[in-house]
Amino acid sequence: MTQDPYEILGVSRDASADEIKKAYRKLARQLHPDVNPDPETQERFKDVSRAYEVLSDPGKRAAYDRGGDAFSQGFGGAGQGFSFTDIMDAFFGGGAPGGAQTRGPRSRARRGQDALIRLDVELAEAAFGVTRDIKVDTALRCEACAGEGTAPGTSPVTCETCHGQGEVAVVQRSFLGEIRTLRPCAACRGYGSIIPDPCRECSGDGRVRSRRTLTVKIPAGVDHGTRVQLTGQGEVGPGGGPAGDLYVEIHVEPHKTFTRHGNDLHTTVSLPMTAAALGTRLTLPLLEADLQPSETQSGDAGTTTTYDLEVHPGTQSGSEQVIRGFGVPSLRGGRGDLVVSIVVETPTRLDARQEELMRELAAIRGEEQPDGKNEAPHRSMFGRLRDAFQG
């Protein structure tokens, strides 16, 4: 078999690096021992690998073109070996040609982690928005070394083990020859440099932990469990790297009067039996009554805090009245409703005169001996639909 690497790969002498790589990939896929274990094919695979090692290296290719021996010892023969990266590149198409090219040292600066804190707010604050100052314990950039991790007046030095590459080559022998793989340098941990004199404030990490105060604006309409994102306010990364994000998780405290369901507010009003029968007007406090003057959306001291609720005569216990537009503002605009449930209270203790009047009323209405009414339990709309489907 000819020893001309151009003829072995089947390319012309003016072939480009991409053409050489393409030819090598094609032959490697055909001749690799895992695909074709024939001994003669294995020998040819070795020739193809050695030819590619010469032509993929600009220096070796130039030397061969000037008349050098491509496969002599020291030029790139069997004792010189070939890179495992080239074999993987032939099958998976990764990397640049030639095993001598490495990924290079990794940066000491890396993005910091995101942080999460909990903020307890009242229902009115969640509904109408609030601005709070919060204290956060996170990693900040070390000011003594400006995030470099080195003591003042010093700087990192190039690692003598990997010569600044951040990687070292590990050579192993196999039936294919010498296979070289690249591993992170243990001496510098892949950074390519070593800090001989670390900063005393941060011990070379480039960051220190500290407490700071942030102002966070909670938008109107947030609900329990909502997370407000503060970009770039999380943990500063190692080596003074960019900070992650800070997430403020909202926890809404229970309210003594209102409960929230979506953007609607629910409350219950208890009425005497006489007021429910005769009708009345109630002054109902709204959620706005919990706001401080500085928390009102418009800053207007005339913000409505009460609502005059008209209770019609004959109102039954358990009935509901819906007040449109007095619920919780939505994050997307608009506002929910306020649902008022009426509970009619039956007196439990009557004096002689009250009992006399009640008996007189019962006689007038013919209710001394009521028969009562047996009715099926109230069914919801979904219950009625279910019964309809079930026949």
Residue 105: per-residue pLDDT = 86
CA angle at residue 244 from 243 to 245, to 5 degrees?
A: 125
Q: What is the pLDDT of residues 203-261, one digit of tens each?
A: 999 999 999 999 999 999 999 999 999 999 999 999 989 999 999 999 999 999 999 99
| Intra-chain end-to-end CA distance of the chain, in Å | 87
Residue 302: per-residue pLDDT = 54
CA–CA distance, 339 with 71 (Å, rounded to integer): 90
Residue 148: per-residue pLDDT = 92
Residue 384: per-residue pLDDT = 56
CA–CA distance, 172 with 51 (Å, rounded to integer): 20
Centre a 10 Å sphere on the Cβ of residue 331 and count the other Cβ atoms it contains. 13
> Which residue positions in the chain have pLDDT lower than 70?
1-2, 33-35, 67-104, 174-178, 293-302, 374-391
pTM of the entire structure?
Answer: 0.62
- State the angle between helix axes of 39-55 and 84-92 in degrees (0 to 180), rounded to the nearest 10: 100
Q: Are strands 259-261 and 246-252 parallel, antiparallel or unpaired?
A: unpaired
What 3-state class would DSSP assign to 232?
coil
CB 81 within 8 A of CB 110: no
Residue 73: per-residue pLDDT = 44
**Nearest C-alpha neighbor of 162 from the set 186, 138, 132:** 186
Residue 13: per-residue pLDDT = 87
